[in-house]
Amino acid sequence: MKCCVLVAYVPDTASIIKIGSAGNRIDEGGIKWIISPYDEFALEEAIRIKEARGGEVTVITYAPERGSTGLRECLARGADHAVHVVGGEATFGDSYAIARVLAAAVQKTGPFDLILCGIKGVGSDASLVGAMVAELLDLPHVSGVVKLELGDGSLTAQRDVEGGTEVFTSPLPCLLATHKGLNEPRYPSLKGIMAAKKVPIQTFKPADLGVDEAELAGAGATTRWVKLELPPAKASGTILKGEEDPAAAARELVRLLREEAKAI
Amino acid sequence: MGCILTFVEQRGGVPRKASLEALSQARRVAQGAGWSVCAVLVGYGVKDKAADLGAWGAQTVYVADEERLALFSAEGYAAAIVAAAEVCPPSAIFMAATITGKDLSGRVAARLGTGCLADVVAVSLAGEKIQAVRPVYSGKALATVEGWSSKPVVVTLRPNVFAAEAGGGVAQVVDLPPVEAKIRSKVIEVKAAEGGELDVAEADIIVSGGRGLKAAENFALIRSLAQPLGAAVGASRAVVDAGWIAHKHQVGQTGKVVSPSLYIACGISGAIQHLAGMSSSKVIVAINKDPEAPIFKVADYGVIGDLFQVIPPMVEEIKRLKQE
Minimal Cβ distance to A223: which of B74, B117, B313: B117
Minimal Cβ distance to A257: which of B199, B286, B301: B301
Among B176, B168, B175, B177, smallest CA distance to B52 is for: B168
Residue B110 forms contact with A (CB below 8 Å): yes
**Residue with the larger pLDDT of the pair B136 and B128:** B136
Provide the number of structural domains found in chain A: 2
- Give the burial string for B94-108 (b: 16+ CB within 10 Å, else e): bbbbbbbbbbbbbbb
Residue A213 lies in a domain: yes
Q: Are the CB atoms for A249 and B170 separated by under 8 Å?
A: no
CATH (domain of A17): 3.40.50.620
CA dist., res. B324 & res. B316, Å (int): 13
pLDDT of residue B193: 77
Angle separating helix axes A95-109 and B99-112, nearest 10 degrees: 70
pLDDT of residue B1: 75
Does one domain contain both A244 and A143?
no
Among B65, B53, B47, smallest CA distance to B6 is for: B53
pLDDT by 10s per residue, chain A, length 264: 999 999 999 999 888 899 999 999 999 999 999 999 999 999 999 999 999 999 999 999 999 999 999 999 999 999 999 999 999 999 999 999 999 999 999 999 999 999 999 999 988 999 999 999 999 999 999 999 999 999 999 999 999 998 889 999 999 999 999 999 999 999 999 999 999 999 999 999 999 999 999 999 999 999 999 999 998 887 889 999 999 999 999 999 999 999 999 998
Residue B12 DSSP code:
T
pLDDT of residue B192: 86
Angle separating helix axes A67-77 and A37-53, nearest 10 degrees: 40
Residue A188 lies in a domain: yes
Kindly report the nearest CA distance between residue B284 and chain A, in angstroms.
Answer: 9
Among B11, B303, B304, B309, most A C-beta atoms within 10 A, so best to mutate, is B303
Closest CA in chain B for residue A129: B106
Contact check, Cβ <8 Å, B106/A174:
no
Residue A223 lies in a domain: no
Does one domain contain both A157 and A195?
yes
List, in sequence order, every residue forming a beta bridge with B62; answer none if it has no partner: B40, B174
Residue B117 pLDDT grade (very low, low, confident, very high; cuts 50, 70, 90): very high
Kindly report the nearest CA distance between residue B80 and chain A, in angstroms.
Answer: 15
Domain spans of chain B, in order of start? 3-175, 194-323
Among B103, B282, B296, B304, most A C-beta atoms within 10 A, so best to mutate, is B103
Does one domain contain both A155 and A248?
no
Contact check, Cβ <8 Å, A169/B188:
yes
Does one domain contain both A42 and A138?
yes
CA dist., res. A106 & res. A86, Å (int): 14
Closest CA in chain B for residue A170: B185
Residue A256 domain boundaries: 237-264
Contact check, Cβ <8 Å, A264/B262:
yes
Question: In this structure, which amino acid lies at residue B116?
Answer: C
- For residue A242, the chain B residues in CB contact (below 8 A) are 287, 303-306, 309-310
Same CATH fold assignment for domains B3-175 and B194-323 = yes
- For residue B229, the chain A residues in CB contact (below 8 A) are 264
Does one domain contain both A209 and A243?
no
Residue A222 lies in a domain: no
Using the predicted structure, report yes or no on whether residue B196 has a pLDDT greater than 70.
Answer: no
Kindly report the nearest CA distance between residue B84 and chain A, in angstroms.
Answer: 18
Kindly report the nearest CA distance between residue A65 and chain B, in angstroms.
Answer: 21
Minimal Cβ distance to B115: which of A123, A222, A249: A222
Contact check, Cβ <8 Å, A222/B202:
no
Residue A63 lies in a domain: yes
Residue B195 pLDDT grade (very low, low, confident, very high; cuts 50, 70, 90): low
Kindly report the nearest CA distance between residue B169 and chain A, in angstroms.
Answer: 30
Among B81, B109, B71, smallest CA distance to B181 is for: B81
Does one domain contain both A183 and A261?
no
Does one domain contain both A42 and A144?
yes
- The complex's ipTM? 0.93
Select from 2.40.128.30, 3.40.50.1220, 3.40.220.10, 3.40.50.880 the CATH code of B194-323.
3.40.50.1220
CA dist., res. B40 & res. B44, Å (int): 13
Output the CATH code of domain B3-175.
3.40.50.620
Closest CA in chain B for residue A252: B314
Minimal Cβ distance to B254: which of A146, A180, A229: A180
List, in sequence order, every residue forming a beta bridge with B187; answer none if it has no partner: A168
Please state, as a whole number, how many other Cβ atoms lie within 10 Å of the Cβ of residue A8. 25
Closest CA in chain A for residue B198: A163
- For residue A161, the chain B residues in CB contact (below 8 A) are 98-100, 190
Contact check, Cβ <8 Å, B301/A253:
yes
Does one domain contain both A51 and A81?
yes
pLDDT of residue B323: 87
Does one domain contain both A120 and A60?
yes
Contact check, Cβ <8 Å, B145/A223:
yes
Interface size, chain A vs chain B, as Cβ–Cβ contacts under 8 Å: 299
Does one domain contain both A90 and A150?
yes
B residues 137-176 lying closer than 8 A (beta carbon) to A: 137-149, 151, 153
- For residue B147, the chain A residues in CB contact (below 8 A) are 222-223
pLDDT, tens digit (0-9, with 9 covering 90-100), for B50-98: 999 999 999 999 999 999 999 999 999 999 999 999 999 999 999 999 9
Minimal Cβ distance to A250: which of B187, B300, B317: B317
pTM of the predicted protein model = 0.92
Does one domain contain both A14 and A44?
yes
Does one domain contain both A160 and A196?
yes
Residue A224 lies in a domain: no
% chain B with pLDDT above 90: 82
